[in-house]
Structure 1
Amino acid sequence: MELNVSRPVFAKGFWTRTQKKPAQARKDASLTRWESQPWRRQLRDAAEYEHPVARAALVQALMAEGLMMDADAARFAGASEDRDCISIAQVLRFADSLALRMAMACTDDHVLQLAHLRRDAEALAERMIEWANAGRL
Structure 2
Amino acid sequence: MELSFWSPGSSGMQGRMSTVPMRSRVVRDPARVRWESQPWRRQLRNPDGFEARVSRAQLVAMLLAENLDVDAEVARFAGASEDAEHLTILQVLRFADLLTRRMHLAESDDQMLQLAHLRRNTEDLAERMIEWTNQDRL
TM-score normalised by the shorter chain: which range applies? 0.7 to 0.9
Deviations 1:74-132 (A, max 9, x none): 01100110011000000000000000000001011111111111000000000000000
Aligned equivalents of 2:122, 2:77: Cα separation in 1: 10
- Give the alignment's TM-score, normalised by structure 1: 0.83
Residue 74 (structure 2) aligns with: 73
Aligned equivalents of 1:39, 1:130: Cα separation in 2: 13
Q: CA RMSD in A?
A: 2.1
Aligned equivalents of 1:79, 1:108: Cα separation in 2: 27
Matches within 5 A, 1:1-137: 25-137=26-138
* TM-superposed deviation, 1:136: 0.4
For these two proteins, the number of residue pairs brought into alignment is: 120
Stretches of 4+ aligned residues off by more than 3 angstroms: none
Aligned equivalents of 2:105, 2:83: Cα separation in 1: 25
Structure with higher Rg: it is 2
* TM-superposed deviation, 1:43: 0.1
Aligned equivalents of 1:68, 1:107: Cα separation in 2: 27
- Give the alignment's TM-score, normalised by structure 2: 0.82
Unaligned runs of 5+ in 2: 1-13, 15-22
